[in-house]
Amino acid sequence: MFTIMSATAVVAGARHLRVGRNGQDAAAAWTGEAGGCDCGVAVVCDGCGSGAFSEVGARLGSQLAIRIVRDELTRGASPRELWSAVRARLAEELAQITAAIGGDRERVVHEHFLFTVIAAAWRGDEVAVWALGDGGYAFGDRVVELGPFENNQPPYLGYDLLGDPQPAHLEVADARCGRVVVATDGVIELGLGGLVETRHFEHPDTLRRKLAVLAKSGERIDWEARRIIRTPAALQDDGAVAALAWKVMS
């Protein structure tokens, strides 16, 4: 038997806060039993900056991915085996939504469904991360960065809907690493190592508060110089993090 914990956090970055724009990142996690085994899933998505409503796709994508990965784990797939089925099912459900919206298919996809996906699944002695796009992840203390991509054009799942699927990234690790963290590129720019601490699993909202502080600029008054000194926010881009940690119960 295992004990497993999760933590997620999403905040709008300083650039979006300045102009009153919605954040375009999303995060979700699930822990429980699937197929008779303890399991966990963590997902982050980052909407394309030029997509008018890409935060819609990112939030839908994160929630749909959680459900689909959980379904595949319940069917008995191992973390390394399930991603092709997850990709196909996720693209199919997004295609149905695209058709329901109506109008020009390419326009709908570009406005709503260009978002990156970084997802992790853990069960038993295996944990795997699958990704389409930039950002990064960590197995234990080992951090892996994804991107940047040429011409600042990361692969998006939405291209599957337009008949132009892009190569995905997959890494499988031994579950003895004890935890996995996935994050969007705004967080990776800060540095993922050490960002998620044990206390964030015990009190999950502390992780969101930590990112919120990083997304705020600071200012102080220099009374002698009679001026205000402003410090730019560390987190300029939107940020999303999802993490799982597990250990064998004694």
pLDDT digits (tens, 9 = 90+) for 12-71: 998 888 877 788 999 999 999 998 899 999 999 999 988 889 999 999 999 999 999 999
Q: CA-to-CA distance for 69 and 72, rounded, in angstroms? A: 5
Question: At what angle are helices 83-101 and 54-74 packed, to 10 degrees?
Answer: 140
Going by C-alpha positions, the residue among 58, 127, 42, 122 that lies closest to residue 90 is 58
Question: Does 94 have pLDDT greater than 80?
Answer: yes
Adjacent-strand bridge partners of 37: 34
Percent of the chain exceeding pLDDT 70 equals 99
Tokens representing 216 are: 């705020």
Q: What is the pLDDT of residues 169-189, one digit of tens each?
A: 999 999 999 999 999 999 999
Structure-model confidence comparison of residues 173 and 2, the more confident one: 173
Host domain of residue 50: 2-248
Domain total for the chain? 1
Taking residues 94-107, report their average pLDDT. Answer: 97
Give 176's Cβ-side CA count (13 Å radius). Answer: 1
Q: CA-to-CA distance for 98 and 53, rounded, in angstroms? A: 13
CATH code of the domain covering residue 194: 3.60.40.10
pTM over 0.85: yes
pLDDT band at residue 249 using 50, 70 and 90 as cut-offs: low
Tokens representing 199 are: 């206390």
Q: CA-to-CA distance for 191 and 142, rounded, in angstroms? A: 12
